[in-house]
Amino acid sequence: MNKVRLNVLGISYSQTQSGAYALVLNEENGERRIPIIVGGFEAQAIAIQLEGLHPPRPLTHDLFLNFATAYKINITEVIIHKLEEGVFYARLVCDNGVDATTIDSRTSDAIALALRFGCPIYTTEEILQKAGVVIDFEKESPATKQTRTEKPLSKKIKEESEFTFLDIDELQKALEEAISQENYERASLIRDELNKRRSKEK
């Protein structure tokens, strides 16, 4: 198998399926990207790890990590090995120090676990040829560029203004409250504001 390493580029709302999210992977040494539609729960599990947030209670994928660690089982790599009728299939390669075992997994779960175990994610050249896309922003029309940037920019301004009048202690308290309420989207915004304030202080 000719494996190609992938990195998690990010997650965004799906423009085609209501309540779903688009998880975007890109090849490590190339320009092709693979968009994968995932559910809200899986998107949250991936986003939490990408944002470096720590829930007060372990989520399902955190529990899997804790369980595997307790029994000295490690996931050494994730392989997205098949694409059939628009559905991606993945495998977890597990190792307990004696035997290596391959386990089937939904791709969204496999990626959420890969991020927690810190293991590489691979796919095949065949799948990249089928599903990989290259986004060339230079070829977009001015109208398309404006549509693509207007919403995120206006949302960003609204989000930033919400925390403008809070000091660092208040922001820290709001962050802890958001995490305790498991509102991880809000927590990531507060964390970004805290990081920005602290970088200005240095």
Q: 187 and 178 in contact (C-beta within 8 Å)? A: yes
Chain mean position to CA 67: 22
- Using 70 as the pLDDT threshold, list the residues of the chain that sit under it: 1, 15-18, 135-165, 184-185, 202
| For the chain, counts of helices (H) and of strands (E) | 7, 7
DSSP code of residue 2: -
Q: What angle do CA 153, 136, 12 make, to 5 degrees?
A: 45
- pTM of the complete model: 0.71
Q: CA angle, corner 51, sides to 48 and 55, nearest 5? A: 40
- In terms of phi and psi (left: phi > 0; alpha: psi -120 to 50; beta: otherwise), the region of 155 is alpha
pLDDT on residue 117: 97
Which residue has 């809200």 as its token pair?
A: 40
Q: Where in the chain is the domain with CATH 3.10.690.10?
A: 3-131
Between CA 121 and CA 36 the distance in angstroms is 14
Q: Which tens digits make up the pLDDT trace of 110-145?
A: 999 999 999 999 999 999 998 888 865 444 444 444
Superfamily name and number for 3-131:
Bifunctional nuclease domain (3.10.690.10)
